[in-house]
A = this chain, B = another copy of it.
Amino acid sequence: MQSTMQNFPLTVAAILRYASTVHGDRTVTTATGEGCYRHATYREVGQQAARLANALRRLGIEGDDRVATFMWNNQEHLEAYVAVPSMGAVLHTLNIRLFPEQIEFVAYEAEDRVVIADLSLASILAPVLPKMETVHTVIAVGEGDLAAFEASGKKVVRYHEVTAAESDEFDWPEIDENSAAAMCYTSGTTGHPKGVVYGHRSSYLHSMAVCSGNGLGLGFSDKALPIVPMFHANAWGLPYAALMAGADLVLPDRFMDPTTMVNLIETQRPTVAGAVPTIWNDVMNYLDRNPGHDISSLRLVSCGGSAVPVSLMKAFEEKFDVQIRQLWGMTETSPIATLAWPPPGLPVEKQWEIRGTQGRPMCGVEARIVDDEGAVLPNDGEAVGELEVRGPWITGSYYRNTDDSKFQSGWLRTGDVGRIDAQGYITLTDRAKDVIKSGGEWISSVDLENHLIAHPAVREAAVVGVPDERWQERPLAAVVLHDGAEASPEELRTFLSDKVVRWWLPERWTFVDEIPRTSVGKYDKKTIRARHADDAYDVTYVT
C-alpha cells in the first residue's frame, strides 16, 4: 500500500524557490576588502541565478554538463551554487588548494565545460587553464584584466556582462531528486583525488539536518558566516542550509586574515559561523593582543576539519561566552555527519570530555566500528576499529567507481580509526593508514602528537609507524622545535612518560625544519615514511 502523499522532489531548485520568495528580503553580504561590504537580497540572488542559467544555456550548457567554479566565498559563487543544479547541470567546485596537476586531472575526469572563476585567483588558475582540455569557456568574476585567462585560447567572458544581458526569469526544469547536483573531489592525500557526486536529495536532506536542533539549529533569525571554503565540501552545507532557513549569509570572499575577520564579525554581526580550528586560533590570538572587540553576536561556532583543542573551546567560552561546537565529516559525507554536543545534566568536566570527541551522528547518519575482518565491534567506548558510516547524505561510491574497496559492506569505510561509546559519541584516534601496529596492538599517532605539541619547545610533531624487526612497527617522532628552543629526545621521551603507556613511547626521534604537508595542509605521513626509508632523516635512538 502506497502513501497518498504528494510525490514532491527534494531539489536545490525547491530551496531556491523558497528562499527567493518567502525569504526574498533576506540578504547575502560579501566582503570587498578594507572593511567594505556589498549586499544583495535572496530575491535578487534568485533573479541573478536565472540570468546565470540563461547565460550558461547560451554558452552551450545542456543536460547534466558540468560547470566548474574556481572561487572564494562570495555572492557570485552562491548564485552558481543555486543556478547550476537548478537548471539540471552539475556544479563542480574546484578546490583552489589542489596541486596544478590535480586540478587538471579532476577537471578532465569530471569533463568540465565552463569554469566560473574569480579574477583574484587568476594567478593560480591561468597556468593550468590551457591544459584543461574539456573546458571551452571561462566566465571571469570581478574586476581586472582578462589577459591571463585569454592566453589559454579559451573563450573568456565577464560574469557581470553575460548575466546583465539575460532575462531574470528562467524556465527551471523538473528534476529527479536522485540526479546529480554537484561534484567535489577529495583532497587526494593518497593517490588521485576521488570524485563524490552529491544529489539534489542528499543536499536537501543534509541542509535539513544542519537546520535541526541537534545540528546548528539554523532559523530565519540567524545570520550565517561560512568561513570554511565554498570550493570544498559545500562549505559544510552552510550556504544551502542558510537559504533553506531564510538566514542571512555573510561571505568573506578572500579576506580571511584575523583583522578583517574580527571587523566582519563586529560590523556584520553573524550569529553562526563555521571554520577550521586554525582560523579560530588566529582570531583568538588577535583578540588577545587587541582587547575591546565585540564578537558577542555569535551564538554558535561550528568547527572541524581537524580535531578541535578543548583549550581553544574553553578560551572562547570563558573570554567571550561564544560556544564552539566540534563537528566531524568528510567530502564523502556531504560533509556533516556528527557533532560534539553533550546531553543535558552532565557535570562540567564530563561535558568538556564529550566536547573533545568528534561527536555523535545526527539522525540520518548511522555509525559503527569494525575490525580488520569487517566484524562489527561494540559501542563500549573501549573497542577500537575503523569507522564506517551510512545514510542518505553519505556517498555509496566514487564517481566512475574509482576505489570500490571503500563500499564493500554497504557502508562507507571512512579510513578513520577510533572508538564509539554507549551514547554514540565517536573518538577518532588515527587515520587507518597512519595507525601504528606494534606487537599486535595499536598505538595512536594522533595522541602522541597531541602530547608532544604541549611541550613548550615543540612547534610541530608528526608520529609515523616505521618497520621494526621485533615489534613489526614502532613509532618514529619527527619534531620541529620553536626558533631557538632546545629539547633532547630523552627529555621529550620523559615528558611523554606519564601521559601514555610505556610501550607507546617512541625510541626513534628526528628533528626537522618542517613537516611535509599535503595540498590541503595536512601532515603528509606517506612522505615522512618514504624519507625515513630513504635514510633522509637523521634518527636518534633512545630507550
Contacts and interface: CB of A to CB of B under 8 A. Distances in A.
Interface of A: 1-8, 10, 14-15, 17-18, 21-25, 64, 90, 178-181, 195-202, 205, 208-209, 211-214, 216-222, 244-246, 334, 341, 343-344, 360-361, 363-364, 366, 379, 390-399, 410, 412, 422-424
Contacts of A178: 2-3, 5, 7
- Closest 6 pairs (CB-CB, A-B): A3-B199, A213-B219, A22-B424, A6-B396, A5-B202, A1-B64
A8 B390 contact: yes
B211 A219 contact: no
Nearest to A223: B344
A392 B1 contact: no
Nearest to A399: B4
| Copies of this chain per assembly | 2
A201 B3 CA distance: 9
A201 B201 CA distance: 12
A213 B245 contact: yes
A236 to B, nearest CB: 16
A62 to B, nearest CB: 12
A366 B15 CA distance: 11
A363 B205 CA distance: 11
A327 to B, nearest CB: 14
Contact of A3 (B18, B181, B343): B181
Contact of A4 (B221, B366, B395): B395
Contact of A220 (B179, B219, B343, B412): B343
A8 B412 CA distance: 12
Contacts of A17: 366
Among A1, A17, A21, A361, residue most surrounded by chain B Cβ atoms (within 10 Å)? A1
A396 B7 contact: yes
A359 to B, nearest CB: 11
Contact of A246 (B179, B198, B214): B214
Given A3-B199, A5-B393, A180-B1, A217 B213 contact: yes
Nearest to A26: B343
Given A363-B18, A363-B244, A2 B212 contact: no
B212 A208 contact: yes
Contacts of A379: 21
Contacts of A7: 178, 396
Nearest to A392: B8
Contacts of A14: 363-364
B245 A4 contact: no
